[in-house]
Amino acid sequence: MKKNPKQPSQTEPFVSVDSVSILPKIEEKIKNKVHLLQEKRRIESILVAHNDILEEHELVELQKQLSSINQSLTRKNFKDEFKGFIYTLDDFENTQEFFWLIDKVIPSNSLGVFYGASGSGKTTLILHYISMILHQYPQVYIFYIDGDMGTQNIKNAGVTTLSA
């Protein structure tokens, strides 16, 4: 039986490129943690041994630094780190209903950003949407912010005539 040259045999150790490239990262991580632990011990030692000769602001700064080091040393799990960004099926099933001001484009009670290349028709389209929304829902408030246009340009574009 002929061996596939791309697969290692069971007796030969297989070292992937990924496993080699991660070693420096792991070594750096260990080095940083050891450094933080040494700094923590030094600060704790200073606080215990020399508390009586330090001024109040120095004690406060050392406490802040110690707190920062402790936070860095505390290993957070993925779920805790990204708690506000992870959704469960229940979150989706229990979402509140909303309606579209412009079907499948602009939801109610929302904040949005509309961007594109210069001259692509962004202002024209947005002003058209604003007009549609204000005519259909006169109780809606719209805040239109355009970083490139002054108030005269917005007035020239017809925004002042859009209110219902």
| Domain encompassing residue 153 | 100-161
CA 31 centroid distance within chain:
27
- Does the pLDDT of residue 114 top 70, yes or no? yes
pLDDT, tens digit (0-9, with 9 covering 90-100), for 7-65: 545 555 555 555 557 888 888 889 999 999 999 999 999 999 988 999 999 999 999 99
Whole-angstrom distance, CA of residue 126 vs CA of residue 152: 17
Residue position matching structure tokens 């923590």:
40
Q: Is 67 in the same domain as 29? A: yes
Q: In this structure, is residue 3 part of a structural domain?
A: no
* β-pair partners for 107: 100
Q: In this structure, is residue 148 part of a structural domain?
A: yes
Q: Is 74 in the same domain as 108? A: no
Structurally, the chain folds into a number of domains equal to 2
